[in-house]
Each structure stands twice: as structure tokens, then as C-alpha cells.
Amino acid sequence: MLEVLMLVLAYILGSVSSAILVSRLFKLPDPRSHGSNNPGATNVYRLGGKVPAVLVLVFDILKGTIPVWGAYFLKIDPLMLGLIGVAACLGHMYPLFFSFKGGKAVATAFGTLLPIGLSLGGMLIATWILIVAITRYSSLAALVTVSLAPLYTWWIKPLYTLPVTFLTVLIIFRHRANITRLMAGEEPKVGAKKKAPEQE
């Protein structure tokens, strides 16, 4: 019963779209219909600058961290921890309170992994920065980083490898449009002026 409650709470928390709420607070255009049409930190940065974007990023990370950390301290088993993390990400992707139109949950997925260890978080950040520096493709960096997350987890805490794999599959599935554009050479690079849907 406790596990089911945590699943529901994780989804509800994930459904709180910080991109939309922060945009309203700062009187910015709705990120669902302006810029890249994606309610995430990257689009909010495009529409309103650093301060609102940072607020969105921090809250999106916390949406993943809070329910998973809570479940960890409640001694919920690793498999269910993974499902709770997935529930938070599904809430971000398909928010109950915003017509089920959300973002791609990269920041939220990152937040769900932080309770495993700060070393894992550091490895993920370093991987993302490295791939962006080499390719200038933010979506590719997200895909490579999330694909390596199960391997990093196996090195640090093997017990959580399977739950992290759940998140990897979910994030890759949500990026299928980006994968298509990458293969076609149509994905915009970081800093490009062309306005097109981005990964987070």
C-alpha cells in the first residue's frame, strides 16, 4: 500500500509543470506554444533568460529527487524505487494538471538518480558536457548520457542497475523525434538560431 501511495505521489509531483508556472510568474509566453513549444528549462531560457530557466531546472530536478529519496528512506525495495522514479518522469512528460502535455523529463530523470550518489550525478553531468562540447547536440548528449547511466550505476551501486535501466528506456522513447532528426541531419545544435523542438 505504501508503494502504491508513493507511486501516485511521485506522478502528481511530476505533473506540476514548473516551466508553465514560472512562465506565468514572470509573465512570459506559454512555453507550450512559443519557442520550441516544449515546457522545459531550455525553452524557458529562450523565452525569458537565465533566472526563470534556473528556477525551472532546479524544480524539475527536485520533482525526481524528492519522491525517490523519500522512498529510499522508507526502505522501499530497489525495483519499486525505479518505478517511483519512472512515475515522476511520466508526470513530467504527461502532466495531469496541464492536459497531459509536458516535457521530456531529462532534468527530472537526473533528479531521480541523485539519491544513488553524488558521484553518479557528477559522472552524468560530465558526460553531458563532454558530448555537447564535441557535437553541440544537446539531445544527443542527453541520449548518450542516459544510455551510460545504467553502466555508471553498475559501477557505483549495482543494486540499482535495473531501476535505472527503466529510466533509460523511458527517456530514449521520449526522444524518438530527436533521434529521427539526428539521423536526418536536421536536429538543431546548441546556440543555433533555428527554432525547433529541443530535448529538455
164 pLDDT above the threshold of 70: yes
Read off the pTM: 0.86
Taking residues 96-112, report their average pLDDT: 89
* Model confidence band, residue 198 (pLDDT cutoffs 50, 70, 90): very low
How many other C-beta atoms can be found within 10 angstroms of the C-beta atom of residue 84?
26
Q: With contact defined as beta carbons under 8 Å apart, do 74 and 7 qualify?
A: no
Q: With contact defined as beta carbons under 8 Å apart, do 167 and 112 qualify?
A: yes
197 pLDDT above the threshold of 70: no
Q: Mean pLDDT highest for which of 31-35, 125-129, 178-182?
A: 125-129
Distance of CA 150 to the CA centre of its chain: 16
Q: Which residues contact 44 (CB under 8 A, 6 or more apart)?
A: 19, 22, 23, 28, 31, 52, 53, 56
User: What tens digit of pLDDT does each residue of 40-92 get?
Assistant: 887 888 889 889 999 999 999 999 999 999 998 898 988 888 899 999 999 99
Specify the pLDDT at position 55.
96
User: What tens digit of pLDDT does each residue of 112-136 get?
Assistant: 999 888 899 999 999 999 999 999 8
